[in-house]
Structures are given as C-alpha cells and as structure tokens.
Structure 1
Amino acid sequence: MYEYSFVKIELNVWGSKPKEDYQDIIHRYASKGWRLVQIFAPSTKGYGSAAYFELIFEKPLN
C-alpha cells in the first residue's frame, strides 16, 4: 500500500510561469522519502493555458 501527496503549483496569469520553484519542492519531498509519480496538468482555461499543475508523490505506508 502507498500513501499519496498532491502539491498544487499555481501559475502566473501572464507568462504561465510557476509561482513556486517546483524543483525545490521535488527535492524537499524526495529527502523525506517521497517519490515523484506524475506532474498533472489540468484542462486549459478559456484562453488556452492551465491555471495550475499538480505534483503527485507517493511513498510506502509504514
């Protein structure tokens, strides 16, 4: 069995750049035993770009 954690990363409206350093988040979670499973990008907003994406992590249950 695994447990999962979902981290939502908001994107700036202009330029669609992440508001947070996603690489830093991935390194931080990895140091705590989490494994990155997927980066999920939802469907786009009305003008063609996503408002956010999610990092999905897993680790075995203790």
Structure 2
Amino acid sequence: MYEYKYVETSLGGFFTSATHRETIDEYAKQGWRLVQVLPTNYNGNGKPGEYEIIFERVIQQEG
C-alpha cells in the first residue's frame, strides 16, 4: 500500500525564482518518489504558474 503527499510549488515569475527542483530533492531524501506534476493555476496568457507535485512512498506495515 502507498501513501501520497501533494505539494504546491511555483515555477517562478518576474520577481520570484522556481523552487520545484529543491522541493523534489527535499522529498526524495525523505523516501518519497515523484509520481506526477500537475498545473493548477494558469495566468491570463494560458501559461501555468502554480503546480502540484505528487509524491508516493510505500507504507511500512507492522507485524
């Protein structure tokens, strides 16, 4: 069985820098595996501005 984590991130803009690589690296160190990246918010030109990164990892079953 798997558990999932959904993390919102941005690819940056005029005044901000992208943080997606740092987010992926941070969760990978904790044992999470990248499943998919989904755009969640678009600007007026149709370009995605915000994303949801989906991670999964195996649930350790006791017993």
TM class, shorter-chain normalised? 0.7 to 0.9
In structure 1, how many angstroms separate the alpha carbons of the residues matched to 2:14 and 2:31? Answer: 34
Say if 2:17 is the partner of 1:7. no
Q: Partner of 1:25 in structure 2? A: 23
In structure 1, how many angstroms separate the alpha carbons of the residues matched to 2:11 and 2:29? Answer: 25
Segments of 5+ residues of structure 1 without an aligned counterpart are none
The one-letter amino acid paired with 1:53 is Y
Identity value in percent: 36
> How many residues end up aligned between the 2 structures?
60
Change (3 A) 1:4 1:13: same
**TM-score, L = length of structure 2:** 0.71
**TM-score, L = length of structure 1:** 0.72
Larger fraction in strand: 2
